[in-house]
Structure 1
């Protein structure tokens, strides 16, 4: 899942003992050169760490290198919260948006860059279970989020007079005029004019201009929900509903305008390991020109899903390629995109502790978490796409591609029964580096076992210095060089 829907999950905790080790060959960087990444958004924080998916184009790639090839160490920071969003500002401070297990009140944590420990916290107004998960850092290292009162907040941090750090609300703007009663904001991102774009679960897309206070909105067709976040590029804002992919621009007064709409095969029902009936993708901008030539999503076709790539300017379909052929063919995650390459990870059969109220029955009713990872390359002349490799990797997080070290970084979920696809509360988890040229795991480091380490398909963030922060169902895991 992109961790966005974590607040809906009831948490199952278990303890146990099990020895697990997995030592593979040292990491080997792929010889491919990936990029360019989407251009820097002047109203967002550092590239690679300003949004859940790295940048406002949702590339799920980063220009920062991972922890290197030497010995690694890891530690779990227990926050008694599920932490889907971990961002890092230009000052080096990680900011985590978490949902406590007991209260479900969204809480912002400022983390110590040296240890990962929480040094300040701020609770937000509780609203719908879906609200308060997606956020981004702006160009002043402020966390931009929407609380349960449908208020757009900019949350800064500063040193207190008596020492220590504090979080505070620096700016607030109500979105009540655009968000219908009972609805909630599911995703937001800045555009290149400084407006904040947002989308609600009920299918409303809007813009907020904090300079003038103007909030404008557009209701997408009835029955279309937005269950994932949104992405922005200089050409417009990409939104994937449960029925179609859109590119929108804004009119003179900021009102959203549909530039193009492309329906996709949403299949007969939700698949096991998905949280809604439709795509699980936050749209991904990628391309060999300026990094936003194309928009990619994964459909929900049955029995095999397809990677769909559209031209950003016209919406013309470049390709539809079957993916996740070796493992479970279904994905709740945003594709990873850089240059002409796209990577798709399977979530089919992932054992979420609970499902959203409106998720509906899955078809089939259940499935094993086999895993799966595919690479697709767009042809240089844009005439189509080719499946480069397809393999089975039980990634339990949204993978992150580093264009600096040429590796894919993620967390994999093992099994207490070697060779089995069965899952349990005692499963082991490992941080892995994957060679994007072959799809093979090049290196693996054991993190821990039990649901305390369950990464629940959340996104990891690579911070400066090669430190990996990965949200879990109970806090954060930090991986770094010894």
Structure 2
């Protein structure tokens, strides 16, 4: 997923109302105090040795973009909910092995990227982060996607097209500082006016990136930068993923690709599969094409590769064999809800979970996205579970859950965590946002705990991150919420 800069432009008067708060728990009397799903999900793809542990390393949790992780969340019971008012939208939240959180945010005021170091513990969170660092402004997505490496350093490409590694250390007085430990110029691979979108390391430590105009580049471990240009007119609008076989997946607005390095260390296309991109961009989509970051998943962790197409009137989960690009199955999804998704599928073991964003009221869309057809639509929600079986794909359940965030599946407690939007299908600024827990076996909502009745806590489809200590941190348009 992604969101445009104008999404972050909220009225100053609203920002002034953003304060630390403890929201009382509200639970239906029909909801049990604690719940655990019966099924066991997994495995995840093997950990990438050049990233932080699975579940903590990126917006989509790991190199495979599974949107699933090995840590347990708060469970299906009421939890304390607190706010970190950062006056910034924070789509990427990562956590190091030291327990500290590094969040890549975009300032609501300057629209420029900023990195915040946060202590996620304590009854009352710190209003001021432990440390912050402004990042050179470029294209918006340079302020959206990043990952945490195996040394607890945040890795991203800034607005000057430099690949940065940002560490957090204490100075002589014991104060936390953010510092750039490495800056690699990758501008030779990025055309003038273009900007990096997604970034991920392969399992050899080479750092891959993709740009908005379809350049796929790699900063090599031994030095040097190489790239390949995908067909003209194809744009990359989401992040990229890596598999243990040292393959990298990139979805453009026309096709899904898998790439690797040739014998000379240059990126090459292994296969390309076009998908149905539909007649136009749909409401609740931020580009004309798939809204998915490609997801690796499967019985050994990375056997399959999946995205959701943009077909009309129904969208489909497309499952390809990793390595060959053979289409294994094509399953209609979101048939009970809105037919479109800007979110990456959850993929773990043989199961996928797809959430609808059709009609979601983003305040604005990126320049050049093109008109939506229809211009607007109700946000009815929707979520589908699809299992991959030897004979093809099977829909396990289809619901109308109105997820306002990118959901996360914990394989430790067998629960899906997200934020739901409560209100009429035709959304208004008075809608309530709630912490929600879903049973992945049947799609039933186990808990829906209202956390805010203000548009300030709109997560605009950013990821729910399950962190250490049974906590969730959720970005929204003015900061971060902590649950648990």
User: TM-score scaled to structure 2, two decimals?
Assistant: 0.94
Residues 238-270 of structure 1: CA deviation (Å, up to 9, x unaligned): 110000011101113321111111100000000
The aligned counterpart of 1:319 is: 329
Residue 214 of structure 1 is aligned with which of 221, 224, 228? 224
Residue 242 of structure 1 is aligned with which of 250, 253, 272? 253
Aligned: 1:385 with 2:396: no
Residue 9 of structure 2 is aligned with which of 2, 8, 11? 11
Other structure's SS at 2:183 match: strand
- Cα distance change, pair 363–472 in 1 and its aligned pair in 2 (3 A): same
The aligned counterpart of 1:414 is: 422
Supply the distance in 2 between the matched residues of 1:70 and 1:367 (Cα, whole angstroms).
Answer: 33
Aligned: 1:95 with 2:102: yes
Shift, 1:10, TM fit: 4.3
Alpha-carbon contact 1:6-1:84 (below 8 Å) kept:
no
For structure 1, which segment, 316-325 or 122-131, has the greater mean C-alpha deviation from structure 2 after superposition?
A: 122-131
Residues 20-78 of structure 1: CA deviation (Å, up to 9, x unaligned): 95525135322211101011000000110101101000000010000135541011110
The aligned counterpart of 2:31 is: 25
Shift, 1:6, TM fit: 4.3
The aligned counterpart of 2:68 is: 61
Other structure's SS at 1:362 match: coil
Shift, 1:131, TM fit: 2.0
Other structure's SS at 2:144 match: coil
Residue 47 of structure 1 is aligned with which of 47, 50, 54? 54
Alpha-carbon contact 1:10-1:354 (below 8 Å) kept:
no
Supply the distance in 1 between the matched residues of 2:439 and 2:238 (Cα, whole angstroms).
Answer: 28
Residue 346 of structure 1 is aligned with which of 332, 353, 356? 356
The aligned counterpart of 1:135 is: 146
Residues 370-419 of structure 1: CA deviation (Å, up to 9, x unaligned): 0000000000x2x310011100011000000000000000000111xxxx
Shift, 1:132, TM fit: 2.2
Other structure's SS at 2:3 match: helix
Paired residues in the alignment total 469
- Cα distance change, pair 292–373 in 1 and its aligned pair in 2 (3 A): same
Question: Which blocks of at least 5 consecutive residues in structure 2 are unaligned?
Answer: none
Residues 274-329 of structure 1: CA deviation (Å, up to 9, x unaligned): 000000000000001x2000001000000110000000021111111110011101
Residue 402 of structure 2 is aligned with which of 391, 394, 398? 394
- Cα distance change, pair 270–370 in 1 and its aligned pair in 2 (3 A): same
For structure 1, which segment, 331-340 or 444-453, has the greater mean C-alpha deviation from structure 2 after superposition?
A: 444-453
Other structure's SS at 2:130 match: strand
Mapping of 1:469-480 within 5 angstroms?
469-480=473-484
Supply the distance in 2 between the matched residues of 1:177 and 1:5 (Cα, whole angstroms).
Answer: 27
Supply the distance in 2 between the matched residues of 1:55 and 1:146 (Cα, whole angstroms).
Answer: 18
Supply the distance in 2 between the matched residues of 1:96 and 1:8 (Cα, whole angstroms).
Answer: 20
Shift, 1:159, TM fit: 1.2
Supply the distance in 2 between the matched residues of 1:6 and 1:183 (Cα, whole angstroms).
Answer: 16
Residues 62-105 of structure 1: CA deviation (Å, up to 9, x unaligned): 10000135541011110000110100011111110000111011
Aligned: 1:440 with 2:440: no
The aligned counterpart of 1:455 is: 459
Aligned: 1:297 with 2:307: yes
Alpha-carbon contact 2:35-2:75 (below 8 Å) kept:
no
Supply the distance in 1 between the matched residues of 2:265 and 2:376 (Cα, whole angstroms).
Answer: 44
Alpha-carbon contact 1:7-1:82 (below 8 Å) kept:
no
The aligned counterpart of 1:114 is: 121
Residue 368 of structure 2 is aligned with which of 358, 361, 365? 358
Shift, 1:199, TM fit: 0.2
RMSD between superposed Cα atoms in Å: 1.6
Shift, 1:9, TM fit: 2.1
Mapping of 1:158-307 within 5 angstroms?
158-209=169-220, 211-235=221-245, 236-288=247-299, 290-307=300-317
Shift, 1:444, TM fit: 1.7
